Amino acid sequence: MLLDLDISSNERLFSLIGCIIGFTVCIFLAFRRFTRYRLVADTPTALIRSAPQGYVELIGQVIAGEDGLLRSPLSGSPCVWYHARVERYVRNANRKGGRWKQVYRDTSSSWFQIDDGTGVCLINPAGAETDTQYKKVWYGHTEVPIGRVDSSSFHHYAASIVGGSGRYRYTEQLILEQERVYALGCFRSLGGGRERLDLKAASRDLLREWKSDQAALISRFDNDGDGKIDSEEWTRAQHAAVQQAKARQHELDALPTVDVLQNPEQQGQPFLLSTLDEEGLLTRFRWYLAGYMACALLAFWLGLEVLLTATA
């Protein structure tokens, strides 16, 4: 044994439980990072123009969505996506040390676009695991930051964590227009005649909707004016519902094709967005994996030391 421990049986039990939990969590996180590493490394990059329907990898230049550029809530920087967080430093009851408690958190949900030179694809960022180069952490004495931080002061993650003091800590991550984005998610092409309605189901839904408003139904189809819908009039209503469903199908056929990338929402298919290039993203995954494995080995070694230590 390398450690000379002097612990009671209760301390030994709780220490073992802590080491087991720490080891398990680290192995789980390491496995999760490894699966993402393999997905990024093994999935070929598709072109938007010819991308297959389903789980694909795209790389393209960011374009603002239909609503234009957003403004990040803390720094006021123009961007297409942001994640912002404000934390307040709370001292412990004994006044020794403390912790950061989150008081505000916001992530944008507005869609944006990427262009890879062969086509344009809409990105729905909801549910994405996002990793950005542009991140800033700064400090202040008010819950709302005083003044604005120019986006030019945002730096690469490795150099962005700046020291400071203050009761509040502000964190902001951004995706900026014209950045290159790596995206791994579910690709779908909508419109262009791809969506086919079930005409029978659509007409039934229309009839159900019309029946819920009897006054409007009678006003529209009661030809004889008796205040009721007879079998002949009901047949006319059914025919009208079918024709309206067909008209809706014609409208869908006339829509242009729109490509969308979004959360697959399937086990084993994470939705990843990153402004790092593919090699940079793989390098970060390797560092995470090495760190988690080192922590797992440390937890295993400490547990072994505790297990072999004689109790007092």
Q: Is the pLDDT of residue 54 over 80?
A: yes
Alpha-carbon distances of 23 from 40, 133, 219, 290, rounded to whole Å: 26, 30, 72, 14
Backbone angles phi, psi at 165, to 5 degrees: -135, 155
Range scoring the smallest mean pLDDT among 19-23, 216-220, 292-296 = 216-220
Q: What percent of the chain has a predicted confidence (pLDDT) above 90?
A: 46
Q: Output the six-digit token pair for 166.
A: 């203050």
Name the band, by pLDDT with cuts 50, 70 and 90, for residue 160: very low
pLDDT number for residue 157: 35
Range scoring the smallest mean pLDDT among 217-226, 266-275, 278-287 = 217-226
Residue environment code for 158-170, b if the CB has 16+ CB neighbours within 10 A, otherwise e: eebeeeeeeebbb
What is the rounded distance in angstroms from the CA atom of residue 300 to the CA atom of residue 22?
9
Q: What is the mean pLDDT of the chain?
A: 85
What is the rounded distance in angstroms from the CA atom of residue 160 to the CA atom of residue 158?
6
Q: Are 78 and 70 in contact (CB under 8 A)?
A: yes
Residues 209-226: what's their mean pLDDT?
83
How does strand 120-123 pair with strand 258-262? parallel
In sequence order, the 6+-apart residues with CB closer than 8 A to the CB of 28 are none
Residue type, 179: E
Q: Is the pLDDT of residue 58 over 80?
A: yes
Give the pTM: 0.70
Rg, C-alpha atoms of the chain: 29
DSSP per-residue codes, the chain: --------HHHHHHHHHHHHHHHHHHHHHHHHHHHHHHHHHHSPBPPGGGPPSEEEEEEEEEE-BTTB-EE-TTT--EESEEEEEEEEEEE-TTSS-EEEEEEEEEE----EEEE-SS-EEEE--TT-EEE-SEEEEEEESSSSPSS---GGG-EEHHHHB-----SEEEEEEEE-TT-EEEEEEEEEEE-TT-----HHHHHHHHHHHHHTSHHHHHHHH-SS-SSS--HHHHHHHHHHHHHHHHHHHHHHHHSPPEEEEE---BTTB--EEESS-HHHHHHHHHHHHHHHHHHHHHHHHHHHHHHTSPP-
What is the rounded distance in angstroms from the CA atom of residue 114 to the CA atom of residue 180?
8
Range scoring the smallest mean pLDDT among 43-47, 60-64, 164-168, 173-177 = 164-168
Q: What percent of the chain has a predicted confidence (pLDDT) above 70?
A: 88
Would you mind telling me the total number of residues written for the chain in this entry?
Answer: 312
Q: Are 77 and 145 in contact (CB under 8 A)?
A: no
pLDDT number for residue 246: 82
Q: Is the pLDDT of residue 102 over 70?
A: yes
State the residue for tokens 């990153």: 274
pLDDT number for residue 159: 33
Alpha-carbon distances of 220 from 232, 235, 290, rounded to whole Å: 13, 13, 71
Residues 254-266: what's their mean pLDDT?
84
In sequence order, the 6+-apart residues with CB closer than 8 A to the CB of 18 are none
